[in-house]
With several copies, the nearest count.
Chain A
Amino acid sequence: MSIQFLDTTLKNTTVLASGILGNNKDILERVYNNGCALVTMKSIGPEPRDGHNNPTVIDLGHGIINAVGLPTPGYTNMEKEWKDLETRDFPLSASIYGGSVEEYARVAEFVSKQKPDMIEVNISCPNSEKHGMTFGVHAKSAHEVVSAVKKVTNVPLIAKLTPQALNIAEIAKACEDAGADAICAINTVGPGMVIDIESGMPVLDFKKGGLSGPMIKPVAIRCVYDIYKAVKIPIIGLGGISTGEDAIEMIMAGATLTGIGSAVKTRGINVFGLVTKEMTRWLDRHNSTIDSIRGAAH
């Protein structure tokens, strides 16, 4: 079920979500070899950053809470990674973030020289006080960031949005107007907090963290549904997908591609191959194609 997305031909609809398994060529290649059509790198920022202390990632049974805190070597500090990735033979999306419009542009300009197939602009991370999400909750700032990035690169741009926005469709439209070539929705939900009652302490060192996995799927589906109505550019639907059926649901909401993050924990790296197989089986049984079911819920 090969599919055209922006300027790239993908072998199926599955996408590795940003922040899952990191940035190194070998592991990303393994993800690709396990059935993933498009791998997204861990978000890359302007300065080296360690992220938060542990605990940073906790399994809640029906999902994950995390406050990894945008660790990054910093975009200029990844010679080895970039060099390794030069020789890759799989489609790559580089996720970036910044603390200001200028930083986003600076990171994007540098990163686009490394020739990723696309750049994902993360304006939606809840796990840092200064970075990311603030830009994604207002149409004006979202527009500014995407415009600034668009000016400095020809690489196709994906804007990654947060469900915390009051009107995510409006944000998506602002990104489209600013030149985004696609939307990715959603980043983690919340934030949430889990308190360990024996110690009386929040279990995350950063106290709050973003929610992901099965429990956020209804929010992700609703967001993609709303965005599909508002924009013409394609959508990477992401949030709570673990099975082929979940991916079909996401496509019916309006997604073109289907991102997978937390399910790498529950089903292993092979989840991409499994989901694709389940989708194919479902489509065959229903005499359908990806194209015929996209947006079916509208």
Chain B
Amino acid sequence: MLKVAGKQEENPEFATLFFNSSLIFKPGQFIMLWIPEVDEKPYTLSSVSDKKFGITIEAKGIFSKKAISLKKDDLVGIRGPFGNGFTLPKPGDSIAIVAGGCGLAPLAPLLDRINHDRVSITCIHGARSKDYLLFKDRFKFERYFCTDDGSLGHKGFVTDLLKEKIADGNTFNKVYTCGPEIMMHKVFEICEKHNIHCQVSLERYMRCGFGLCGACVCGKEVVCKDGPVFGSEKLRDMEDFNKTALLKSGKEVALDDYFAWRHP
């Protein structure tokens, strides 16, 4: 068990919890957060320094609401880190980061790790509205925002901006994306069209987190272990990407039904 060492309220529905503990991890990996007597759910690491790490949570259902209401010194259980993480860009790469809402969380430590002098980065970040844009002051480099309500940046989708950047003549060789699955799927399609390698971070219901129980299986991939990050090679074969997911019972359903089931 670890004590919550601090909390940063990003906005009324997003908060980052910090813990004083060192983790050896790769950007894109996740931990299982246990709130005793509530539940245990996966969260990607959104910041990691020598002796501290953080996870950023969007209040959605019972669990995540409970999580962002945790106070300093509250005890929670942390298992992990689990999963594969992103493949880091190489010097000389030109990459795009495409994040939807809380999807910036796993991408943020990737941005921290990259040597910005050697990798050219285009960061596109979308949210419902201005207040829901995560980590607005965390990064020094320029970012391209879009909001559903137009309260900041482009009014519309991150995919619009990605297409625009490509049309503008930017030649990306890697795109990293995290956000709603439908958004990631669109990003993947754009990448396929332009022959860009794409990495997405998938989300499925999880139990063990280490590739045993099968709760998170997506096609022939075990999301908690083979993923949560999948690159274009695997995505091409992944029929269930943006299509189906397993309920807690193990039943395979359409993605919409999966998210509907999760309503409190």
Residues of A whose CB lies within 8 Å of any CB of B are 19-24, 26-27, 29-30, 42, 48-51, 53-59, 64, 66, 68, 71-74, 77-78, 80-81, 196, 198-199, 201, 203, 205, 261-262, 264-265, 268-269
Task: Tell me if A27 and B77 are in contact (CB < 8 A).
Answer: no
B36 close to A201 (CB less than 8 A): yes
Partner of B249, one of A54, A71, A201: A71
Residues of chain B within 8 A of A198, CB atoms compared = 1, 75
Would you give the 0/1 interface string for B25-58, flagging 1 where the beta carbon is closer than 8 Å to chain A? 0000000101011011100000000000000000
The answer to whether A268 touches B211, judged by C-beta atoms less than 8 angstroms apart, is: yes
Contact A56 B75 (CB under 8 A): no
Instruction: Given A22-B250, A71-B250, A80-B252, decide whether A54 and B41 contact each other with a Cβ distance below 8 A.
Output: yes
* CB-CB under 8 A for A27 and B249, given A68-B213, A265-B212: no
Q: Is the CB of A24 within 8 A of B249?
A: no
- CB distance B212 to A73 under 8 Å? no
A21–B212 touching, CB < 8 Å: yes
**Cα distance A53–B37 in the bound complex, in angstroms:** 10
Residue B219 CB within 8 A of the other chain: yes
What are the nearest 9 A-B pairs in CB distance? A22-B214, A73-B251, A54-B40, A198-B1, A57-B208, A26-B220, A21-B214, A50-B248, A30-B220
Decide if A22 touches B215 in the complex (CB within 8 Å): yes
Q: Given A27-B222, A72-B250, is A199 in contact with B75 using a C-beta cutoff of 8 Å?
A: yes
A264 to B79, CA, bound (A): 18
Interchain CA distance A199-B207 in the complex, whole Å: 21
Minimum CB–CB distance for A17 against chain B, Å: 10
A54 touches B207 (CB 8 A): yes
Task: Give the shortest distance, in Å, between B258 (CB) and chain A (any CB).
Answer: 13
Inter-subunit contact B1/A199 (CB<8 Å): yes
Chain A proximity of B103: nearest CB distance (Å):
23
Closest to B214 in A: A22
State which of A23, A55, A74 has its C-beta within 8 Å of the C-beta of B40.
Answer: A55
* Chain B interface mostly: loop
A80 to B247 Cα, complex, angstroms: 14
Contact between A55 and B212, CB atoms less than 8 A apart = no
| CB proximity of B210 to chain A, nearest CB, Å | 5
Which B residues are CB-close (under 8 A) to A29? 220
Given A59, A199, A261, A265, which contacts B36 in the complex, CB threshold below 8 Å?
A: A199
Q: A72-B250, A77-B251 are in contact. Are A196 and B213 (CB under 8 A)?
A: no
> Do residues A55 and B32 form an inter-chain contact, with CB atoms below 8 A?
yes
Complex interface: chain B residues within 8 A of A22 (CB): 213-215, 217, 246, 250
* B34 lies within 8 A of A55 (CB): yes
> Beyond A48-B251, A54-B34, is A68–B207 a contact (Cβ under 8 Å)?
yes
Contact B77 A71 (CB under 8 A): no
* Closest chain B CB from A122 CB (angstroms): 15
Asked if residues B250 and A27 are in contact (CB atoms below 8 Å), the reply is no
> With A and B bound together, what is the CA distance between A203 and B212 in angstroms?
18
Give the chain A neighbours of B221 by CB distance below 8 A.
Answer: 27
Q: Which residues of chain B from 219 to 236 have any CB-CB distance to chain A below 8 Å in the complex?
A: 219-222
Chain A residues near B37: list those with CB within 8 A: 201
A60 CB to nearest B CB, Å? 12
Q: Which residues of A contact B247 (CB under 8 A)?
A: 50, 73
> Does A66 contact B248, Cβ atoms closer than 8 Å?
no
Closest to B38 in A: A53
Per-residue CB proximity of B74-110 to A under 8 Å, as 1/0? 0101010000000000000000000000000000000
Nearest CB to that of A202 among chain B residues?
Answer: B36
Assess the B249–A265 pair: CB atoms within 8 A: no
Distance, CA A73 to CA B247, complexed state (A): 9
Chain A nearest CB: distance from B167 CB in Å? 37
Give A86 Cβ to nearest chain B Cβ, in Å: 15
**Residues of A contacting B212 in the complex (Cβ-Cβ under 8 angstroms):** 20-21, 57, 64, 261-262, 264-265
* Sample of 24 A–B contacts (CB below 8 Å): A20-B212, A21-B214, A21-B222, A22-B217, A23-B214, A24-B246, A27-B221, A54-B32, A54-B39, A54-B40, A55-B34, A55-B40, A55-B77, A56-B40, A57-B212, A66-B208, A73-B249, A73-B250, A74-B249, A198-B1, A198-B75, A199-B36, A264-B211, A265-B211
